[in-house]
Amino acid sequence: GENVEQHPSTLSVQEGDSAVIKCTYSDSASNYFPWYKQELGKGPQLIIDIRSNVGEKKDQRIAVTLNKTAKHFSLHITETQPEDSAVYFCAASRTDSWGKFQFGAGTQVVVTP
Amino acid sequence: DGGITQSPKYLFRKEGQNVTLSCEQNLNHDAMYWYRQDPGQGLRLIYYSQIVNDFQKGDIAEGYSVSREKKESFPLTVTSAQKNPTAFYLCASSLNSWEKLFFGSGTQLSVL
């Protein structure tokens, strides 16, 4: 089955700097890669996603890149702000595998003023 | 506002007791899911349901049971057979089978 590895487990950045989180996946048939942000005591919220036919997607300060050959994808947050502090999860799924998202272990991001 | 409502937010279980976690959605989504979250780990799938009156085991279904009698509701019962139930439980739903999960705010279950 699919296995998703996520690095780093914790990330501390100065406000205004960029943050990058990387995930690798094992199943070459995976074709949908969402990123979720989870604040303390709350459920994860989808912040951006990418499909396998696209190499990069941006939404304001957030971007995701996908390298299908190397089977890894990354989340980039630019101009970080204190409200970006949270746990971020990557995930992978495939359209023929109903409900079978495989999640990374999460990255705790701390943005210090 | 449309969304997913989980209750209660905190739940305590005694030895040998079954407890039920509630999950209701008004997003008109066909698919619903239950995930378990342990500290420092990713989300693990317990059960999922594609349609009313149908559900499938996920990766860690042992000690859990579900029902899907209504489209809006997908309750999870943590049975006494689940020996390590302390965790944060998340319910989710999606319009399609494999994308854009919407999560509830979670239930923290602890053992007394």
Reported as a single tens digit per residue, the pLDDT across A53-77 is: 889 999 999 999 999 999 999 999 9
- Within an 8 Å CB–CB cutoff, is residue B33 touching chain A? yes
Tens of pLDDT, residues B6-54: 999 999 998 889 999 999 999 999 999 999 999 878 899 999 999 999 9
Closest by Cβ to B42, choosing from A34, A100, A103: A103
Chain B: give the shortest CA distance to residue A93, in Å: 7
DSSP 8-state class, residue B99: S
Q: Are A112 and A15 in contact (CB under 8 A)?
A: yes
Residue bearing the bigger pLDDT, B18 or B95: B18
- Within an 8 Å CB–CB cutoff, is residue B11 touching chain A? no
- Which residues of chain B does A53 touch, with a Cβ-Cβ cutoff of 8 Å? none
Closest by Cβ to B97, choosing from A41, A99, A106: A99
- Which residues of chain B does A8 touch, with a Cβ-Cβ cutoff of 8 Å? none
